[in-house]
Structure 1
């Protein structure tokens, strides 16, 4: 595969293993990942937070163990935000899904093994179309894995966001009746999941963005003003690392387009 597209603000963040460890609870209130004991894994996380996603993925794979989670997060974030080729994006998501599935088989109590499997399959589903993904049975796999992640880590903000997105997108594509009967998707549950995510991590720019998107999908024009306010709040968030910077920039793009 060709070298990954660099993070556009290379050098903008200078976290090292010590500063990542010191700020761990803030840096990882999105994914509830335990702070690693392995120095090599901590260093891989430092690369990730600085936006060196390709190097972080490679370092995580070399470290093994908890490093697989670093590799999966770095790969998934890179694929979602920076990979320009659609086929390459989808291939990367399927790599993450496969690794995370194997990790969950070996470590069934590892919440992020379930989460990254779900995230990757969810983004892959968006890439091929949600309707097609539902027909292939991917929806049930995503929902199960996210519910498992939340059961294992109730303060996993990103899992709440992803499951809220699942409920919203299914209802948007097939309607509330079929969505509820066939896929267990409910508007009230979806909105509550976003609200819970933002209680856990009030400064989550991606949580605000996805909540805004869901409000528009589920409620339409009456919620446009609230959605715009969420985009504005996300755009004004002060990012602590590279991924948060990408989320803030996404919010600013949404505001320009709306």
Structure 2
């Protein structure tokens, strides 16, 4: 396996098993993932929260079924934020989607299996263009997997964010009428999903960022001022771990441009 690009703030977060366990509710406010009983899985999460994404993925895979969600989250977050080569990014998303699909088949009641399948396919869709992905039927798979995630775990804030983004992006690409008739995308549902995500996890930088983007896609340039305010909120947050640091960095970079 090729060596991954290092998290740019390595050493900023220095969690161990005890401190990750203590901070678990805050660290997993977005995905409502249960605290693992298996120490090998917990150690994979320690690596993830510290920004050691490649090691987290490997440790998660080595831990067996219980570590697959951590492995997929590490691979997807790394691919989304840090991998420079598009071909490698897309391959990482495809691999994560395949692992998550197998995980969902084996453990259909595991919300993480459905969510990471949707996330990986969604980010893969961005890489090949949303319009092309919709034509390939990936949009329906993403939507169904996210809706299944929310049914299994109504407190999964990240799934609400992703559903909001789905509705916004489809409407932005094909319009409200075709979006609604063909893909079930609706403006009011998208906005409600973003708002519910922030109710569940008000300190989520990615929820603020995606809500800002979604507002402009769904409501137009008249919402630019509110979107900027949401970006400013995200940029001002104190990140709890490496993933949130990447989100906060993204917000700050957007504001700087």
How would you bin the TM-score normalised by the shorter chain? over 0.9
Q: Secondary structure at the match of 2:195?
A: helix
The runs of 5 or more residues in structure 2 that have no matched partner are none
- Which residue does the alignment assign to 1:33? 33
- Which residue does the alignment assign to 2:123? 123
- Residue 217 of structure 1 pairs with residue 198 of structure 2: no
Q: TM-score, normalised by structure 2?
A: 0.99
CA distance in 1, matches of 2:249, 2:117: 25
CA distance in 2, matches of 1:89, 1:227: 28
- Which residue does the alignment assign to 2:197? 197
- Which residue does the alignment assign to 1:92? 92
The runs of 5 or more residues in structure 1 that have no matched partner are none
* CA deviation after TM superposition for structure 1 residue 59, in Å: 0.2
Q: Secondary structure at the match of 2:14?
A: coil
- Residue 234 of structure 1 pairs with residue 234 of structure 2: yes
- Root-mean-square deviation (CA, aligned residues, Å) is 0.5
- Which residue does the alignment assign to 1:147? 147
Deviations 1:53-110 (A, max 9, x none): 0000000000012100110000000000000000100000000000000000000000
* CA deviation after TM superposition for structure 1 residue 128, in Å: 0.4
**Segment of structure 1 superposing worse, 193-202 or 63-72:** 63-72
* CA deviation after TM superposition for structure 1 residue 199, in Å: 0.2
Q: Secondary structure at the match of 1:66?
A: helix
Q: Which runs of 4+ in 1 moved over 6 A?
A: none
Deviations 1:192-226 (A, max 9, x none): 00000000000000000000001111112210110
* CA deviation after TM superposition for structure 1 residue 16, in Å: 0.5
- Residue 65 of structure 1 pairs with residue 65 of structure 2: yes
CA distance in 2, matches of 1:2, 1:216: 38
Q: Secondary structure at the match of 2:189?
A: helix
- Residue 108 of structure 1 pairs with residue 108 of structure 2: yes
- Residue 167 of structure 1 pairs with residue 134 of structure 2: no
CA distance in 1, matches of 2:177, 2:146: 22
CA distance in 2, matches of 1:93, 1:221: 32
- Which residue does the alignment assign to 1:42? 42
* CA deviation after TM superposition for structure 1 residue 34, in Å: 0.6
Q: Name the count of aligned residue pairs.
A: 257
CA distance in 2, matches of 1:87, 1:238: 33
CA distance in 2, matches of 1:18, 1:70: 17
- Which residue does the alignment assign to 1:133? 133
* CA deviation after TM superposition for structure 1 residue 154, in Å: 0.1
CA distance in 2, matches of 1:237, 1:64: 34
CA distance in 1, matches of 2:49, 2:180: 38
CA distance in 1, matches of 2:8, 2:21: 25
CA distance in 1, matches of 2:219, 2:191: 11
Q: Secondary structure at the match of 2:101?
A: helix
- Which residue does the alignment assign to 1:251? 251
**Segment of structure 1 superposing worse, 217-226 or 85-94:** 217-226
CA distance in 2, matches of 1:224, 1:153: 32
